[in-house]
Amino acid sequence: MGTGETARGEPVPERTLAKAGPARVGSDPRISQLVAAQQGRAAGLIEVLHRLQALDGYLAKASLRQVAEELGLPLGQVYGVASFYHLFRLEPPQRHRCAVCLGSACFVLGAARLAARLEQRLGLRLEPPGGSANGPPGGPGPARASQGARPAPGPGSLSPGPGPYPGGWSLEPVSCLGACGQAPLLVVDGAMALRLPTGSPTALEARLDRLGLPQAPGCFAPGAWGPGLLMAGER
Amino acid sequence: MATALELARPLEPADEPAQGRPAPPARQLRCCTASGCRAVGAEPLVQALRRAQELAGPAAHGLVIKSVGCLRLCSRGPLLAWDGPGGPALFALGSTDPGTPPGAAIGPGPAQALVLAAATAPGPDGLAALDLAAGWPPQPLPQGTPSPGALPGPLAGPPPGGGGSSQAPSPGGIGLTWELLDLNHPFFALQQPLVLEHCGWIDPDSIDEALARGTYGSWRRCRSQLSPEAVRATVRRSGLRGRGGAGYPTGLKWDTVALQPPGPRYVVCNADEGDPGAFMDRSVLEGDPHRLLEGLAIAAFAVGAEQGYLYVRAEYPLAIERLRRALEQAHQRGLLGSGTGLELELRVGAGAYVCGEETALLQSIQGQRGQPRPRPPYPAQSGLWGAPTLINNVETLAAVPVILRRGAEWFAAIGTDTSKGTKVFSLSGSVLRTGLVEVPMGTSLRTVVETMGGGVPAGPGAPGGAVKAVQTGGPSGGCIPAHLLDTPVDYESLQALGSAMGSGGMVVVGEAMAMPELARHFMHFSVEESCGKCLPCRAGTVQLEQLLDRLLAGLAEPSELEQLEQLCRMVKATSLCGLGQAAPNPVLSALRHFRPEFLAAYRSAPPQPALARPPWPAGPGAASDPGGRP
Amino acid sequence: MAVVTLRIDGQAVAVPAGSSLLAASRVAGLALPVLCHLDGLTPVGACRLCLVAIEGQGKLQPACTSEALEGQVVATNTAELQELRRLAVELFFAEGNHVCAYCVASGACELQAMAVTVGMDHSRFPYQYPLRAVDASHPLFSLDANRCILCSRCVRVCAELEGAHVWAIAGRGRHCHLVAGLDQPWGEVDACSSCGQCVEACPTGALFHKDDSTSEKHPHPARALQRRRVQDLPPRPDR
């Protein structure tokens, strides 16, 4: 039985806890083990969520409910924590993941141009990882390759509108992968690609092809980035 | 003033009380396997070398091959340090294809040549003559051929061919280069490894190697001879200030915690190094974890804490792995855990830059959303679960053991009047030499960025060495323009210029980068990382980003500049925590030092219809050209 | 019990030690603007409207979470603070979708009253028009997230006074939003006891009784001290 605490540090009243106790039918024994490994402490919530996501690839609502029950925490508090941290995914991950480093060192070496090209190629918008950009209840979820188009951004935004979605890819920004000496960087399905030639569209395209990145139907050919956007010194 | 100590030479015995520092093995290859070199295949390289050693038989038996932490010049990795006659020497394995990690491309033949060469070469020059394709030993050179070590500029980058390096076609046709690096070059010679004194020498997974070099010696002295008051007094007299960015006097913080009313206390190590481009703390965690554990243990002793936490960001998996192993080893040896009066626990972050802020970090350790708390009360008074809590940065804690060992006065003699000791910087961006640099406080920016770092490399549209600005302090800091590069690096000087030392990340910016674009990049980061608790940061940074977007798109009216500055001041003055308070800094600093560039971007006439919307696609930052990598 | 004396806007006040600066300001007869504060709930210092200037300190401090200390000299209504408050209210209005014309709380809304107090009748910031939802699943009440200013009063009253812990803030940064339970429809959260305290605590028209129509949300009488009706406010200051 967990020792739940409110944000104020007080014990959570008994009546507000889902009835915890011996594992119920349908409950996941792995979660009970993870909770036991943290001695049932409410402070161990983030550790439990890390290990749970390592097992399942994401945090399902039913799992979050069981975690809340066994740690003796309110449902909303657990959901609030799971949705706060960008590394926690509340939806199953896509089959393929592309992460582009937008740290400062990569940025001054052209990572923004790399990210723009990836958005075009994959037909996706850069999405903070974990889908925590879900927005309010009932609102549309983040653009994922298998779902519908994301609504157009508000006025003042310069991002491209919704586009076609090749199956099974997600595009995430990360801030500093820690290999600044090899900037700019990309990680495709766990494999790191280094020193991407952001100053040369054709060379960049060739590297992206080698990495197995698909081309969304209707995406612009490399180099055709619009008038005024060709780089000085490039032809 | 302490002597400048080179990476190559172990600390001279004359500088130190009798220490019994062990000499390295007669023949050794120290291979950097920190994250930077891992990205270029350090792990497969080490495995290939070990396999080659087995196959090479008795000729290579005398060679010790080991994994070590950061060898400093990250842009030339994978790096290998060689201990042998006339050594140590530092070598870089390169590849002719910039997209191929050299360590992954080395085949069995070249690996064996390397191993044999390391085991038998008469000296560094001899090892430098290694031809990875031709094998070992090399054929005698024709008369008149200059010896490899004498050729100029070995640090300028892999030469196109010949001279100090050799090409070896591996399977797949990738050529490998092998080059001796010049340890007398200022990049190495001006470093003073104090926090990083063991980094690159020891296998971070071996507690025995750490112990042999004296790690945990100060901790043992604490427990057997010293009092908490004496330890705190030493740290106070040393002048050590927080290395996480705030620069708060460490001794004072320790005293504040220690002097709270009796009751439980906690110590916390802030290893949530979130600034993009900063990897100083990571290098300590990956290269010398026991050093950090010792520092944290001493801190706990000094303030009377029996429970401590190390909070590491999840994006550092290698650091987490090495720390876990180090904790286990320290427990096994009775250096931590029951009987020592200190339990340490590792906590992993989950992707929130704001958790680098002290009170947000505490919330995260408590299993909650990483939202900062109002201060006062400060953590020293009311921290984890309301108890007095000491929070210190990795580098701060890693400096403590050597302060205790060498003395407060020795430490205080290094640096400036107000900023004592050394500082570790991670140099990255548009700079020739990316890597880790530890120098005395007060060293000028120009020395670090140009003399050691080599300035901005020559490229299309950028003459070599044309630094435009140096961004210090990450998203909370600001830029120092080129004409102010003689500024000494210390807390006060950088603050006076509208920037901050920050945790030590230095991103070099070349002429091709537009400052409004860089400002927008940092503001976007703050938007994404804001916790959302307080209005000014949550909503204000969004508006600031949009003002900058309009500027970059050529849509902004001149009157918006005043609005930009006014909102920057409001967010700075009213935000709850340091993230929001410092979010406008990159903008304000760019406006201060590069105002004409901003003014030029504001429209002076109403837009023509054709320019009302930028052409699609306009991804992030597409409006201007940051130069890019050729 | 120890007593501390301090000066607020030139007035000397004496309060029990441990009182907040906000409480001390009320003893002085001042009505500091507040939005996230509600007597009886743990103060969080989130809206930043009650920031005051303490002599000798460079940073402004929120009165609701700062302890009143002996000898402090505090200013609550400087020109700088007035400007900062107006900018804050403009940011609030631009952040959500606040349309007073048909809002259930119009006339008795604390955000609206704050706009009048700081002299704001339009926002200089572009409206964000976020896509927010309405949750009408509960039998008695509704949540219109368009009007939510994330003050977290509902979260705190439900956790601290009712003990039901129905509400929480999810997401991060500009994506923060109110959720019930595990991001469930409010009507499906078992823990809710339908006490209505969150509706009473909500300063805007975000949480309201289903029975109420435009301008019909009225504050509970016990909240008289925290509420001001628009018509009771002094005339709008000259700009």
A4-53 pLDDT, tens digit each: 455 445 555 544 444 444 445 458 999 999 999 999 999 999 999 999 99
Sign of the dihedral through C-alpha A54, B272, A3, C40: negative
Q: What type of residue is A140?
A: P
Q: What is the dihedral of CA C173, C174, C175, C176, to 10 degrees?
A: 60
Answer whether residue B289 shows pLDDT above 50: yes
- Is residue B14's pLDDT more than 80? no
Q: What is the per-residue pLDDT across B340-377, written as a single tens digit (0 to 9) for each?
A: 889 999 999 999 999 999 999 999 999 999 999 999 89
Q: Is C91 on the interface with B (CB under 8 A)?
A: yes
Strand order in the sheet with B389-393: B343-348, B307-312, B266-271, B389-393
CA distance linking residue B323 with residue B296, whole number of Å: 13
Predicted pLDDT of residue B4: 32
Q: Do B627 and A103 touch (CB under 8 A)?
A: no
Q: Which of C186, C212, C213, C156 is nearest to C40 (CA)?
A: C156
In contact, A196 and A101? CB cutoff 8 Å: no
Q: Does residue C214 sit at the B interface (CB-CB below 8 Å)? A: no
| Contact (CB, 8 A) for B532 and C172 | yes
Determine the distance from the C-alpha atom of residue C155 to the mean position of all C-alpha atoms in its chain, rounded to a whole number.
13
With beta carbons under 8 A apart, name residues in chain B contacting C66.
374, 376
Q: What does the pLDDT look like over C162-192, one tens digit per residue?
A: 999 999 999 999 999 999 999 999 999 999 9
What's the rounded Cα separation, in Å, for the pair B555 and B545? Answer: 14
User: What fold is seen in the domain C3-77?
Assistant: Ubiquitin-like (UB roll) (3.10.20)
Minimal Cβ distance to C135: which of A13, A135, A137: A137
Confidence at residue B433, expressed as pLDDT on a 0 to 100 scale: 95
Residue type, B90: L
Cβ pair A107, A207 in contact under 8 A: no
The correct CATH number of C86-232 out of 3.40.50.1370, 3.40.50.1100, 3.30.70.20, 1.10.10.10 is 3.30.70.20
Residues on chain C touching A7 (C-beta within 8 angstroms): 159
User: CB–CB of B570/B536 below 8 Å?
Assistant: yes
Question: Which among B394, B283, B522, B243 is positioned nearest to A178, based on CA atoms?
Answer: B283
Question: In this structure, what are the phi and psi dihedrals at residue B67, rounded to the nearest 5 degrees?
Answer: -90, 130
Q: What is the pTM of this model?
A: 0.86
What's the CA gap between B562 and C172, in Å, rounded? 29
* pLDDT for res A63: 97
Exposed e or buried b per residue across A58-82, where buried means at least 16 C-beta atoms within 10 angstroms of its C-beta: ebbeebbbbbbbbbbbbbbbbbbbb
- Strand A169-174 to A191-193 pairing: unpaired
- What pLDDT does residue B164 have? 41
Contacts of B369 in chain C (CB under 8 A): 169, 172
pLDDT for the residue B136: 84
Smallest Cα–Cα separation from B168: which of B116, B120, B102, B121? Answer: B102
In this chain, the answer to whether the domains covering C3-77 and C86-232 adopt an identical fold is: no
Residues in chain C within 8 Å Cβ distance of A16: 163-165, 191
- Residue C93 CA, chain-centre distance (Å), reads 14
The DSSP 8-state label assigned to residue B132 in this structure reads T
Gap between the Cα atoms of C135 and B313, Å rounded: 36
Task: Report CB contact under 8 Å: C129, A138.
Answer: no
N-to-C CA span, chain B: 43
Q: Looking at residue B625, what is its pLDDT?
A: 42
Q: Tokens 């955000």 identify what position?
A: C111
Any CB–CB contact under 8 A between C175 and chain B?
Answer: yes
Q: Report CB contact under 8 Å: A182, B75.
A: yes
For residue B149, the model assigns a pLDDT of 39
Cβ–Cβ gap A75/C164 under 8 Å: no
Coil, strand, or helix at residue A62? helix
Give dist(CA C56, CA C72) in Å, integer.
9
pLDDT of residue B145: 52
Q: Which of B355, B373, B533 to mutate to test the interface with C (most CBs of C within 10 A)?
A: B533
Lookup: tokens for A2: 């967990």
Residue A216's pLDDT is 78
**Are residues C159 and A133, on separate chains, in Cβ contact within 8 Å?**
no
Contact of C119 with chain B, judged by CB distance below 8 Å, is answered with: no
Q: Which residues of chain C have a Cβ shorter than 8 Å from any chain A Cβ? A: 42, 126, 128-135, 145, 155, 159-160, 163-172, 175, 177-185, 189-191
Round to whole Å and give the CA distance between B200 and B124.
18
3-state SS, chain C, equals: CCEEEEEECCEEEEEECCCEHHHHHHHCCCCCCCCCCCCCCCCCCCCCCCEEEECCCCCCEECCCCECCCCCEEECCCHHHHHHHHHHHHHHHHHCCCCHHHCCCCCCCHHHHHHHHHCCCCCCCCCCCCCCCEECCCCCEEEEHHHCCCCCHHHHHHHHHHCCCCEEEECCHHHCEEEECCCECHHHCCCCCCCCHHHHHCCCCCEEECCCCCCCCCCCHHHHHHCCCHHHCCCCCCC
* Cross-chain Cβ contact A137/C183 below 8 Å: yes
C91: left (phi over 0), alpha (psi -120 to 50) or beta: alpha
What pLDDT is attached to residue B461?
52
Chain A contact partners (≥3 CB pairs within 8 A): B, C
> What distance in Å separates the CA atoms of residue B422 and residue B280, rounded to the nearest whole number?
13
- Chains touching B, CB cut-off 8 Å, 3+ pairs: A, C
Chain B residues with CB inside 8 Å of C48's CB?
Answer: 534-536, 574-576
Nearest to A195 among B99, B276, B369 (CB): B99
pLDDT class for C121, splitting at 50, 70, 90?
confident
Q: Residue B20: its pLDDT value, please?
A: 55
pLDDT of the residue at A128 = 61
8 Å CB contact of B352 and A86: yes
Q: Report the SS3 class of residue B375.
A: coil
- Res B1 pLDDT > 90: no
Q: Are A105 and B627 in contact (CB under 8 A)?
A: no
For chain A, helix (H) and strand (E) counts, in that order, are 7, 4
For chain C, domain boundaries: 3-77, 86-232
Q: Which of A129, A160, A193 lies nearest to residue B99, judging by beta carbons?
A: A193
pLDDT at residue B601 is higher than 80: yes
Mean of the per-residue pLDDT values of chain B:
87
More confident residue, B8 or B543: B543
Contact A84 B528 (CB under 8 A): no
For residue A184, the chain B residues in CB contact (below 8 A) are 629
Sequence-separated (6 or more) residues with CB below 8 Å from residue A130: A85, A86, A87, A88, A89, A90, B351
Which of C165, C175, C182 is opposite residue A65, by nearest beta carbon? C182
Q: In this predicted structure, what is the pLDDT of residue A153? A: 34
CA dihedral (A208, A211, A214, A218) in degrees, to 10, reads 10
ipTM, interface predicted TM-score of the complex: 0.92
The amino acid that residue B78 corresponds to is P
DSSP state for residue B7 in the 8-state scheme: S
The CA–CA distances, whole Å, from B571 to B564, B577, C60, C169 equal 11, 10, 12, 22
Determine whether the interchain pair B535/C92 forms a contact, defined as Cβ–Cβ distance below 8 Å. Answer: yes
How deeply is B557 buried, as exposed, middle or buried, from its count of CB atoms within 10 A (0-12, 13-18, 19+)?
Answer: middle
Q: What number of other Cβ atoms are within 10 A of residue C14's Cβ?
A: 12
Per-residue pLDDT tens over the stretch A70-83: 999 999 999 999 99
Separation of alpha carbons B490 and B468, rounded Å = 20
Cβ contact C124–B563 (<8 Å): yes
Residue A159 and residue B348: Cβ atoms within 8 Å? no
- The beta-carbon neighbor of A83 closest among C163, C171, C189 is C171
- DSSP letter at B257 equals H
Residues in chain A whose Cβ is within 8 Å of chain C: 6-8, 12-13, 15-16, 18, 61, 64-65, 68, 74-80, 83-86, 132-140, 151, 154-156
Q: How far apart are CA B587 and CA B571, in angstroms?
A: 12
Task: Of B359, B386, B209, B226, give the one whose Cα is nearest residue B297.
Answer: B226
Strands of C51-54's sheet, edge to edge?
C11-16, C3-8, C73-75, C51-54, C61-62
DSSP string computed for A90-135: SSPPPSEEEEEE--HHHHHTTHHHHHHHHHHHHT-----GGGGGG-
**What is the per-residue pLDDT across B382-393, written as a single tens digit (0 to 9) for each?**
999 999 999 999
Is the per-residue pLDDT at A221 higher than 80?
Answer: no
